[in-house]
Amino acid sequence: MLGRMSTSRRFDRGHTDDLASFLTASPTPYHAVATAAERLEKAGFRRLAETDAWDGGVGGRYVLRGGAIIAWYVPEGAAPATPFRIVGAHTDSPNLRVKPVPDTGAAGWRQIAVEIYGGTLLNTWLDRDLGLAGRLALRDGSTRLVNADRPLLRVPQLAIHLDRQANEGLKLDRQRHMTPIWGLGEPREGDLVEFLAAEAGLDAADIAGWDLMAHSVEPPAYLGRDRELLAGPRMDNLLSVHAGTAALIAAADAGDLPYVPVLAAFDHEENGSQSDTGADGPLLGNVLERSVLARGGGPEDRARAYAGTVCLSSDTGHAVHPNYPERHEPGHHPMPNGGPILKVNVNQRYATDGTGRAVFAAACERAGVPWQSFVSNNAVPCGTTIGPITAARHGIATVDIGVAILSMHSARELCGADDPFLLANALTAFLEG
């Protein structure tokens, strides 16, 4: 059964406008889940502590852990064995992250020591105004978000006069060439912590640790003669987190759902997902199982629920690049504003199979949304997602989808301006069943 037909698309260009605001408000995974949680709270969802006993009554709930969020809605009449419909995504993006001893410098410049996170396109961080954001861990065990969203740092490129071969192939040493400057003078221990304490309204002595990262302070912007493109940071993969949050809220408003809709947004996808907040950790399985138990179920009900569950792993993919078309599979050239993409790899870098294709196609049909297929060129290694991890770890049928973009893993990426709301409409139709 294909399920209920949607009478109209819920989301339009206003959703893309809102994505730009979401990206600006979410310079780190911690800010992204806080922003998503704020929207869920306004929609009537309530936060559960993992240390508390849970109830299984009708309504929306969510769990926060670090840079991850799991949210779900229990509809009227949901039984313990009612299957889940899951939208999976990730909150992290490749960037520059502050080291434990941050204050450094050379040749009369004050600098911040950073470590490269994920598969970053290093050259895109050069000569770009950067802010600092993240979370501060306090001595009392609490954490505080901080966001200095203004030009503080810069990774200066060597002038062409001093590197005449720069345009013939720039080579950047990750240790020597990527350290940002943020002032003049000799480095002083505690300088950065004192600055961020003042930004957060704290005493520097109260800060025991931090998880901090640089971000581009240039705001998202529509691009092109007809404003048909959107340029901005962290689209991989906050575009999907934003769409999944909107879709879950819309599904919860629909009522009379045959499934329990879920949003699962994980951290650490860009470095393998192996953490307590990553897709390869136990967080999702624990939450789903506790939801079954809270509704009076047991192991048999959990197994039955999982057997009928489907996850759409939503992550960005590659639009065909006009300057490098030979790097793409000739028969599959996804275009911006062509709708979400179905990602296929027979070697299980993506989890999609034929039955998953049918589920995704049915959701797009109900939403009135066009869609495209993505396959990697056989001569180019294929990336991967949380999809295969989710399928293997939980035994859940999983389909890899997303939005086609250019400049993936750049400090600033590019998508079609229609694709964010087309994805949100498809995700809503999927969650509603």
Starting at the edge strand that comes first in sequence, how are the strands of the sheet with 46-47 ordered?
Answer: 46-47, 59-65, 68-74, 260-266, 84-90, 310-314, 397-402, 341-343, 372-374
- E strand or H helix that includes residue 114: strand 109-117
Query: Which phi and psi (to 5°) does residue 363 adopt?
Result: -65, -45
CA distances from 408 to 93, 118, 320 (A): 10, 12, 12
Annotation-wise, does 394 bind a ligand? no
Tokens representing 22 are 């979401």
**What is the DSSP code (8-state) at residue 78?**
-
Which structure tokens are listed for 43? 């929609």
Residue with tokens 């049915």: 362
In which residue are the tokens 């299957």 written? 83
Alpha-carbon distances of 117 from 48, 275, 377, rounded to whole Å:
30, 15, 26
110-113's contacts with Cβ under 8 Å and 24+ in sequence apart are 110/181, 110/182, 110/183, 110/184, 110/185, 110/186, 110/187, 110/191, 111/179, 111/180, 111/181, 111/182, 111/187, 112/153, 112/179, 112/180, 112/182, 112/192, 113/179
| Degrees to nearest 5, angle at CA 21 with 16 and 25 | 140
User: Which single residue is written with the structure tokens 């002038």?
Assistant: 159
The torsion angles phi and psi of 86, rounded to 5 degrees, stand at: -115, 130
161 is in an annotated binding site: yes
What's the rounded Cα separation, in Å, for the pair 71 and 233? 24
For 331, residues 6+ apart whose C-beta sits below 8 A from its C-beta are: 375
134 φ/ψ angles, rounded to the nearest 5 degrees: 155, -150
- Distance of CA 57 to CAs 73, 161, 255, 259, Å? 10, 68, 14, 15
Instruction: Determine how many CB atoms are found less than 10 A away from the CB of residue 381.
Output: 9
Q: Binding site for Zn(2+), residues?
A: 90, 161, 409
Q: Binding site, residues?
A: 90, 161, 409
